[in-house]
Amino acid sequence: MATTAVTSAGIASEAPRSDFGRILAQRERRFAAALLAPAFLALLATTTFPLLFLVYTSAFRMDLAMPFTNGFVGFENYQVLLSDDRFWTSLLVSLVYTGSTVALQVIIGLALALLVMDMKRGQGWFRVIAILPVVLSPAVVGMIWRTFMLAPEFGIVDFLAINAGLGSKNWLGDPTLAMVSVIAIHTWQWTPFAFMVLLASLASLPEDIYEAARLDRASAWQRFRRITLPLLRPAIVMVIIMRTMVALTAFAAIFTVTAGGPGTATEILNLYAYRKSFTELSIGYGSALAVALLIVTIIISGILFAMRRAK
């Protein structure tokens, strides 16, 4: 539309050229659409459709244990959800889990990146070793921690705790310690990701501005606060967004380590939805929980993206 308006209002001698340009652009657009169509359809089939089906399911009572009660219930599942204490607890657990793991990943990752940047030798080795946890499957990581690290007496962490005079702890049996443990596990696995991104971003900062800042008499702390941090901001926000999405929907590591227990101490919302759907076989209510998680995720990512755009 805009192109036509410009063309007709434009200088007459320019008309043939811009006409030609418009046809070209149109052809290009059609070609692009043809190229995109398969991917678009695949995306539609694998994400949009299941999502809509999920929302649809959440409006039904679908109880595989009591099939005779099944039927359309409208918003009933959501009404139940709002007064379900276990939902609110799991939401809180999700938020604590997400908030603390993301904060820890960014802080530790940034500290490591700053340290490694100053290393004269061995940077390459450090990167290779650091990336190892990331390439492991979360389920494997869960198993490693449950057996190698946290097992009473023999696990490395427990062994260290005993030697540090803290005594053997029931790392996965005590509600608070279990929460600390799953947070530590997630942080252990994913901090290298934050570290790699921030290191790459740090390495791309020009060196001369730090020299200028030194001559301008900025202390090391001022250089970090006034130069490094603002320049890393886009990378940090990006890491926060990506890691928040993942932490909100974390599953395998917690499932293999505590399965949400003891009790519901480490039961994040995702896990609750899973248990409801596939252990208690209440699929309609499980879907409602999943939709609630989706809404929470959308709200939080909305806030984060708004933060990204803000100055």
Partner 1 sequence: MSGQGQVSFRNIVKLHGQFAALKNVNFDIKPGEFFALLGPSGSGKSTTLRILAGLDAPTTGRVMIDDKDVTSTDARDRDIAMVFQSYALYPHMTVAENIAFPLEMAKLPKSEIAPAVKDAARKVKIDHLLDRKPGQLSGGQQQRCALARAIVRKARLFLLDEPLSNLDAKLRLETRAELKKLQRSLGVTAVYVTHDQEEAMTLADRMAVFMSGEIQQVGTPAEVFARPNSIDIAGFIGNPPMNLVPARYVDGDVIIAGHRLKTTATTAVERDVVVGLRPGALRMTEGGLGARVDLIEDLGDTAVLDLDCAGTMIRMRVADGNIPGEGDTISITARPQDIHLFDPATRMRL
Residues that bind partner 1 in the complex, under the rule CB under 8 A:
206, 208-209, 211-219, 222, 226-227, 230-231
Residue 245, phi-psi category: left (phi > 0), alpha (psi -120 to 50), beta (remainder): alpha
| Helix (H), strand (E) at residue 122 | none
Task: Give φ, ψ of 293 to 5 degrees.
Answer: -60, -40
- Which residue lies nearer to partner 1 by CB, 95 or 238? 238
Q: Which pair of tokens denotes residue 247? A: 């932490």
- Asked if residues 247 and 102 have their Cβ atoms less than 8 Å apart, the reply is yes
CB of 226 to partner 1, least distance (A): 8
* Total residues belonging to the chain: 311
- Which residue lies nearer to partner 1 by CB, 71 or 206? 206
Distances in whole angstroms, Cα of residue 260 to Cα of each of 173, 254, 265, 271, 306: 11, 7, 6, 7, 32
- Which residue lies nearer to partner 1 by CB, 74 or 230? 230
- Which residue lies nearer to partner 1 by CB, 28 or 216? 216
Specify the pairing of strand 60-61 against strand 71-72.
antiparallel
Contacts of 16 (CB under 8 A, 6+ apart): none
- Which residue lies nearer to partner 1 by CB, 121 or 217? 217
CB of 109 to partner 1, least distance (A): 21
CB of 171 to partner 1, least distance (A): 44
- Which residue lies nearer to partner 1 by CB, 38 or 206? 206
CB of 205 to partner 1, least distance (A): 9
> Which amino acid would we find at residue 151?
A
CB of 208 to partner 1, least distance (A): 4
DSSP state of 120: S
- Which residue lies nearer to partner 1 by CB, 92 or 220? 220
- Which residue lies nearer to partner 1 by CB, 153 or 208? 208
CB of 204 to partner 1, least distance (A): 11
CB of 122 to partner 1, least distance (A): 20
- Asked if residues 151 and 158 have their Cβ atoms less than 8 Å apart, the reply is yes
CB of 233 to partner 1, least distance (A): 8
Which residue is associated with the tokens 């001559």? 215
- Asked if residues 153 and 95 have their Cβ atoms less than 8 Å apart, the reply is no
Q: How many CB atoms lie within 10 A of CB 224?
A: 14
